[in-house]
Structure formats: structure tokens, C-alpha cells
Chain A
Amino acid sequence: MITLKDMKKVFNAGKPNEFTAVRGVTVGIEDRKLTVLKGPSGSGKTTLLSIIGCMARPTAGRVFLDGRELTSLPERFLTGIRRSTFGFIFQQFNLIKGISAIENAMLPAYPTGRPRAEIRRRASELFELFNLGGKAEARIEWLSGGETQRVAIARALINAPAVLIADEPTAHLDSILSREFMDIMASLKREGMTIVMASHDPIVYESPAVDRIIEMRDGGVVGEVAS
């Protein structure tokens, strides 16, 4: 359960281009549910997502993870928690070119100090799960859109996180791949994963897998729909 209280995020404070991305939001993310942050670009949903995912610290307000306050934790600790609790999927997938697919998937686990062989085993298992078995050593550039998507998901799951965070994951996908993506999300949720997504794609927020939609506009929450 992730809770944000009066959370505010300001960029370039005190400068002429000061910009408030999120203003005074209080929200709680429930476990094992799929929550979608819906809103146009500039609504602050990406910023909110990054705070939920412990990628950034709020300018004001407080953040709690399962009751533990994270607000003023130094980056070192925050990153440690983030690595083991959260998995990330980005709009452009953001895989690293020039290394193999499986290495890409292994990267988030490198700083944990787990033995390489163990990490590789886990990555292979995930690849099998997502039908990528034959593509482990392939370069990213050679993969199809759907395969890239699944490699990105595998990478997000390498550290066995409890929460999956996805930022506009279907922005560069066609309808078929988008629906496929939501199917994968649904099955992950069934296995107990908490999922938070930011999207303005109807295929996402109209999916039956979605439990709750939080609507955002101009940095604030304007509505909520539970399904």
C-alpha cells in the first residue's frame, strides 16, 4: 500500500521558469490492484508516477510505503527500496542498444550483488515465460515490436518486485500489441502484483483488468472511478 499525503512537486523553484507539476495530491495505491492514472499530457501523471515509484522526492508532503515513511530517505536507501520493490516499463521501452536482450533484462540486478549465474537463470526463466526463449542473445535492434515489449517487461520483473510501474506503455504500439500488453498485465495481477500505470490510451483504461482510474488535470486529482 503506497500512500501520498499532500504531495507537491515543484521544478526550478525560485527561478523564472518555476513550474508546479503536482499540487497537494493525497492518494493511496491499493495492493494487488491495477490503478490507472488518466489525463492529458501536462496533467502531472508522469511526475506522480515517478514519486510513487520512488524515483523522485517530493518538494513537500509525505510518502509512505507499507506504513514506512520514505519522504526524506537519502537516495542510496530509496534506490535500494526501489530496486527490490518496483519494476519499471517506459514509454519508449528504453532498452540499451548494442547489448543482447537477455543482458538488458539482467541489468537492474547487477548492483544487487547477486551472482551472475543466478541472475541469468532468472532472466532465462522470464524469457521462457514470455516466449522469448530463442531471442535471448539477439540484439535489441533486431527484435519486433512485440518482442521488445516483452523484453522490457522481463527486465521490469528481474528483481521480483511487488509493484509494476508503467508510463504510457502503449504509446508506440498498435492495437493488437496494446491488447496483448494488457493481457500480460492482467495475468501478472492475478499472480498478486500491484500495477500502476499512466496512460491516456482507451485500450488501457477501458480494459477489464483495470480496478481503479484516477483522473488528473493540471497537477491535481479531479476524479476517481472504481470498477
Chain B
Amino acid sequence: MQWFERQRNIIDFTLSSLLRRKGKNAALLVVYISVVFVLSSVMFFTHAIRREASLVLQGAPEIVVQRVIAGRHDLIPVGYAQKIVGIRGVRSAKVRLWGYYYDAVSGANYTLMAPDQFSHGEGAVAIGSGIAQSGSYEEGTIVPLKSYNGTLLSFEIKKILTGASELVNADLMLMAETDFRSLFGIGPSLATDIVVEVMNPREVATIAAKIVRLLPDTRPIIRDEILRTYDSVFNWRGGILLVIFFGGVLAFIIFAWDKASGLSAEEKREIGILKAIGWETSDIIVMKFWEGLSVSLAAFLGGITLGYLHVFFASSSLFEPVLKGWSVLYPDFRLVPFIDPLQVATLFMLTVMPYTVATVIPSWRAATVDPDVIMRS
């Protein structure tokens, strides 16, 4: 009870003294919040994208088999699918037709695909929102595409794709198989790649090995490998960004140290008075602790909230120049809000911890001033 009352009284005085020095503390708070804001934006963004990517990849096929000639990806004979189906443990092997189309007018790359079922028939396409926006297309518009031999083929837009995951279908264009083959000049015996479903997920690696033995000019790509590679990539990218911002964090630490050490004459006098009238060193240390906690809490919560809003409701607009690069079709980065204790704890260790360590020695110096200093001056 006594301990509690003591804390309460000291907290009361701490808060009142923080408010009394609004100017100095405001500057510190602004810098602190900015640091947390930037770091949390980076973290939320990379985590959310990672998560979206892995969610999207969940629906990806377990194995994708590509043909490799002279080290480069080439078209695969349709007949290979039959051979793969014959391997024990394979549930199905289907061919896929897809590719890239460069539109000189808009300067964008579209992903073209001929799905298994295309309900709109020949001469029709379904396009993603990114394409629609960039070319101002609507349903019913005719869009011309240049085929492999220079002739123009026209397609009517029958549908504009909406999707939960804009990241994937923004630049997508779907059409019938015959149209696809005419456009790119691909004969009926070839396809882009083959997707394979296996019966037992644990056998994926074994089956991939069998495929390579059976068809030595192929390269099977396993979904889990993709997931792992994505993770690594985002770790590296996220990590590099963080290392860059580290310089900022370091500057912040030095700033914090300086602010904490640079007690104004008024502050020094106040602490001197407190010690003279009966406050112990540990009382002053407690006061400094609550001071640091209040500032850190306010900055941490403020910075994280701002970062959250920035990434999930303002589409990371501050990062736009960095991320957009040369891409013309820029998907609206409306990411699904996602936050977990891991991110919060990481941010804590990268911001609050260094701040606290930077202020320990200055706080201690302030607290260990002699009680009779006031009398001597």
C-alpha cells in the first residue's frame, strides 16, 4: 500500500513536470513518434505484403513443371502431361497457357492467360482493373492486340475482373485458348507449362525428383520453395530498409541522450530542491523512470497508430515513389490490416529499448546530485 501510494504521488509530480516543460518535451515527442512511425510503416508494409503473397500462393499449384532448353524457359510439349500423370502419386497434370504481352501504347506489360474454362467465347477478353484504368476501358470496348506476325486482332471486353487480391489480377487478361494460340503463334502441341497436383503433400519432393528423371529437359518448381524464397526476399528487403533507417534510429538515440543530459537550469534547480527537502536518489530515479515511460508510451502508441493508418488506410502513400519504380500498372496497395505481437515486440526493441538505454546514465546523473547543492549555491 505504501509502495503504491509513493508511486502514485511521484507519478503525479512527474506528469505535472512534463506538462510544465511542454516545449522541450514536444520536440522530443515529435522526433520519437517519427522514428516509430517510419519503422512501423516499414514493418507493417512488409509483413502485410508477405502475408498477402503467401495467402495468394496457397492457391498456387503444388508443382509447376517448366521446360528448359539451353538454360532458358521454353514451351513444353503437351504430351509431357500424359507422361507425368503416369507417375505414381500424381493426382492430375494439366497444361497451362499464359504469357506476357507488351502494349506499346500504354507502355505496360499485361499477363495473358487462357484458362481451362473461359465462358465468354472466342473474340472476347476479360481484363483486370489495372488494365481497365490505364486504358480507360469499359465493358463492351474493343481492344486491339498485335499478334506474333504483326496482324491486329480485335477483342471485345466482356468483363472487368474484380478481385479480393488486386495484386494478382490487376494486369491480367483472360481469353479463349484458340485466340491465345493465334495471338502468339503457339501450335496445338505446345503449352507454357504444366501444373501438377499430388495425392500426398509429403511426397512432393519425391515426385518432383521422379519428374526430372523421367523428363530430363524439365524443371519442376515446388510451391513451398516459392514461399520460402518470397519470405527470404521480403526478409532481405525489409531488413535492408531497416538497416538504412538504422542511421535514423542512431541519430535519434544521440538526440535522446542529448535531451536527457541537457537539463535546463530550471530542471536542475527543481531536482536540487526535491533532494534538499527529502527526496532520495531512488525517488528521483523513479520519477525519471515514469517520465521515460510516459514519453515512450505516448510516442510508441502514437507512432504505431500513425504507421498503421498510413499503411492500411492511406495505402502507404509515403512509400509510393520508392515502390512504384517503373511500373505503369500500379495496383492500389489496399492491404489487409494485419498486426501481431511479433511486430509490436520488434518495434519495441528497436525504439523504446535504445531510447531507455540512452537515458539511463543521464537520468542517473541527474538523480545523484548532492542534496546540499541548493544550499551551497
Q: Do A and B come from one complex?
A: yes
A residues with a Cβ closer than 8 A to B are 46-47, 49-50, 55-56, 75-76, 79-80, 82-83, 88, 90-91, 94-99, 103, 107-116, 119, 155, 159, 167
Tell yes or no: B376 within 8 A of A by CB. yes
Given A88-B277, A90-B276, A96-B273: A79 touches B6 (CB 8 Å cut-off) = no
Tell yes or no: B322 within 8 A of A by CB. no
Contact A49 B375 (CB under 8 A): yes
Residues on B with C-beta less than 8 A from A91 are 375
The A interface, classified by DSSP as helix, strand, loop or mixed, is: helix
Residues on B with C-beta less than 8 A from A90 are 276, 374-375
Tell yes or no: B279 within 8 A of A by CB. yes
Most buried by B among A56, A109, A113: A113
Contact B375 A55 (CB under 8 A): yes
13 A-B pairs within 8 Å (CB atoms) are namely A55-B372, A56-B372, A76-B282, A88-B276, A94-B374, A98-B20, A103-B16, A107-B274, A111-B10, A111-B283, A113-B1, A115-B5, A159-B278
Contact B6 A55 (CB under 8 A): no
Residues on B with C-beta less than 8 A from A108 are 277-279
Residues 1-29 of chain B, each 1 if its beta carbon lies under 8 Å from chain A, else 0: 11101101110110011001000000000
Contact A55 B276 (CB under 8 A): yes
Contact B371 A83 (CB under 8 A): no
Most buried by A among B6, B276, B375: B375
Contact B2 A75 (CB under 8 A): no
Contact A55 B371 (CB under 8 A): yes
Tell yes or no: B139 within 8 A of A by CB. no
Residues on B with C-beta less than 8 A from A111 are 6, 9-10, 278-280, 283
Given A56-B371, A56-B372: A110 touches B276 (CB 8 Å cut-off) = no
From the candidates A75, A80, A110, name the one contacting B281 in the complex (CB within 8 A). A75
Contact A167 B375 (CB under 8 A): yes
From the candidates A88, A116, A159, name the one contacting B5 in the complex (CB within 8 A). A116
Q: Would you give the shortest CB distance from A53 to chain B, in whole angstroms? A: 8
Since A50-B376, A111-B10 are in contact, a sample of 5 more A-B pairs with Cβ atoms closer than 8 Å, ordered by chain A residue number, is A76-B280, A110-B6, A112-B6, A113-B3, A116-B9
Contact A82 B278 (CB under 8 A): yes
Tell yes or no: B370 within 8 A of A by CB. yes
Contact A94 B371 (CB under 8 A): no
From the candidates A56, A83, A113, name the one contacting B370 in the complex (CB within 8 A). A56
Tell yes or no: B270 within 8 A of A by CB. yes
Contact A113 B5 (CB under 8 A): yes
9 smallest CB-CB distances across A and B, nearest first, come from A113-B2, A83-B278, A110-B9, A50-B372, A113-B6, A55-B372, A79-B280, A108-B278, A108-B277
Residue of A nearest to B5 (CB): A113
The B interface, classified by DSSP as helix, strand, loop or mixed, is: helix
Residues 264-296 of chain B, each 1 if its beta carbon lies under 8 Å from chain A, else 0: 001001101110111111110000000000000
The answer for the CA separation of A47 and B371 in the assembled complex, in Å, is 12
Contact B5 A94 (CB under 8 A): no
Contact B273 A116 (CB under 8 A): no
The answer for the CA separation of A76 and B3 in the assembled complex, in Å, is 15
The answer for the CA separation of A145 and B371 in the assembled complex, in Å, is 25
Residue of B nearest to A50 (CB): B372
Residues on B with C-beta less than 8 A from A55 are 276, 370-372, 375
Residues on A with C-beta less than 8 A from B269 are 94
Residues 355-372 of chain B, each 1 if its beta carbon lies under 8 Å from chain A, else 0: 000000000000000111
Contact A75 B20 (CB under 8 A): no
Contact B277 A79 (CB under 8 A): no
Residues on B with C-beta less than 8 A from A82 are 278, 371
Q: Would you give the shortest CB distance from B99 to chain A, in whole angstroms? A: 73
Residue of A nearest to B266 (CB): A97
Residues on A with C-beta less than 8 A from B2 are 113
Q: Would you give the shortest CB distance from A84 to chain B, in whole angstroms? A: 9
Contact B8 A116 (CB under 8 A): yes
Q: Would you give the shortest CB distance from A49 to chain B, in whole angstroms? A: 7
Residues on B with C-beta less than 8 A from A49 are 375
Q: Would you give the shortest CB distance from A46 to chain B, in whole angstroms? A: 6
The answer for the CA separation of A108 and B9 in the assembled complex, in Å, is 11
The answer for the CA separation of A155 and B278 in the assembled complex, in Å, is 11
Q: Would you give the shortest CB distance from A159 to chain B, in whole angstroms? A: 7
Residues 240-277 of chain B, each 1 if its beta carbon lies under 8 Å from chain A, else 0: 00000000000000000000000000100110111011
The answer for the CA separation of A46 and B377 in the assembled complex, in Å, is 10
Residues on A with C-beta less than 8 A from B376 are 46-47, 50
Residues on A with C-beta less than 8 A from B280 are 75-76, 79-80, 111
Residues on A with C-beta less than 8 A from B5 are 113-116
The answer for the CA separation of A97 and B17 in the assembled complex, in Å, is 10
The answer for the CA separation of A155 and B372 in the assembled complex, in Å, is 17
Residues on A with C-beta less than 8 A from B1 are 113
The answer for the CA separation of A113 and B9 in the assembled complex, in Å, is 8
Residues on A with C-beta less than 8 A from B6 are 110-113
The answer for the CA separation of A113 and B283 in the assembled complex, in Å, is 11
The answer for the CA separation of A140 and B270 in the assembled complex, in Å, is 14
Q: Would you give the shortest CB distance from B271 to chain A, in whole angstroms? A: 10
Residue of B nearest to A82 (CB): B278
Residues on B with C-beta less than 8 A from A88 are 276-277
Q: Would you give the shortest CB distance from B254 to chain A, in whole angstroms? A: 29
Residues on B with C-beta less than 8 A from A155 are 277
Residues on B with C-beta less than 8 A from A95 are 273
